[in-house]
């Protein structure tokens, strides 16, 4: 794809090894970085998007997947930005396959959380009849990041959150010793406590959550 090759050329020109080192350290050295800050990265993306608009709009799913398989983290971040721009309630049913691949490829909390909240969450808002099947499959997976996504996908739903689904996910994973799962439970409950404080407080007080989950859940109460 011309968009991908043009983007790569501009990223390499803008690379900064001094900035890359702290970025890589912050991400526990799980990824290589060009060392491009968010504002500049998005400016480069916008310029290349406009120059290759027809190609991108016709092939944004394939382009995003191509970018997500590349080495540097800025490519993965751009892939997510592209999907956030293009999906906009224009999902097709089969997009769940791409969403799942993105969650389990080059995974870490920064990409997974954005995909879960905005892309998976947006998909299930458009296809609510798929919610139970998708959540059950993700929740029962041996992949921890799919589990986390099943807990967090309603973060953008606000007062429309299905509390029964959220509680079910918390119950299923409340005994996990995995930090990212304990944190996700607390985060999801804390976020929903802004809209249903009494319900969240009652649930937390009646459930034996891990200390981290409980502390995070009650932070706003």
Report angle CA 205, 202, 116 to the nearest 5 degrees: 95
Comparing C-alpha atoms, which of 44, 135, 122, 41 is closest to residue 84?
122
pLDDT, tens only, 7-62:
999 999 999 999 999 999 999 999 999 999 999 999 999 999 999 999 999 999 99
Q: Which residue's structure tokens are 């993105």?
A: 102
Contacts of 50 (CB under 8 A, 6+ apart): none
CB 187 within 8 A of CB 169: no
Q: How far is CA 141 from CA 6, 130, 138, in A?
A: 37, 17, 5
Q: Which residue's structure tokens are 């991108």?
A: 56
pLDDT, tens only, 127-139:
999 999 999 999 9
pLDDT, tens only, 68-110:
999 999 999 999 999 999 999 899 999 999 999 999 999 999 9
């Amino acid at each position: 794809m011309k968009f991908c090759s043009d983007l790569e050329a501009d990223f390499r020109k803008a690379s900064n090894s001094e900035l890359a080192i702290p970025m890589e350290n912050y991400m526990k050295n799980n990824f290589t970085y060009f060392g491009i800050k968010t504002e500049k990265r998005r400016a480069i993306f916008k310029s290349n998007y406009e120059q290759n608009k027809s190609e991108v709009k016709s092939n944004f799913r394939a382009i995003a997947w191509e970018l997500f398989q590349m080495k540097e983290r800025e490519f993965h971040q751009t892939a997510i930005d592209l999907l956030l721009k293009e999906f906009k309630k224009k999902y097709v049913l089969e997009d769940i396959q791409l969403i799942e691949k993105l969650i389990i490829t080059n995974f870490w909390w920064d990409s997974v959380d954005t995909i879960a909240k905005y892309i998976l969450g947006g998909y299930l808002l458009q296809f609510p009849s798929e919610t139970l099947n998708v959540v059950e499959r993700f929740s029962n997976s041996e992949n921890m990041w799919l589990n986390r996504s099943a807990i967090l996908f309603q973060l953008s739903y606000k007062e429309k959150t299905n509390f029964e689904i959220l509680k079910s996910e918390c119950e299923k994973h409340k005994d996990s010793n995995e930090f990212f799962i304990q944190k996700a439970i607390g985060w999801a409950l804390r976020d929903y406590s802004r809209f249903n404080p009494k319900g969240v407080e009652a649930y937390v007080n009646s459930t034996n959550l891990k200390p981290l989950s409980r502390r995070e859940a009650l932070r706003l109460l």
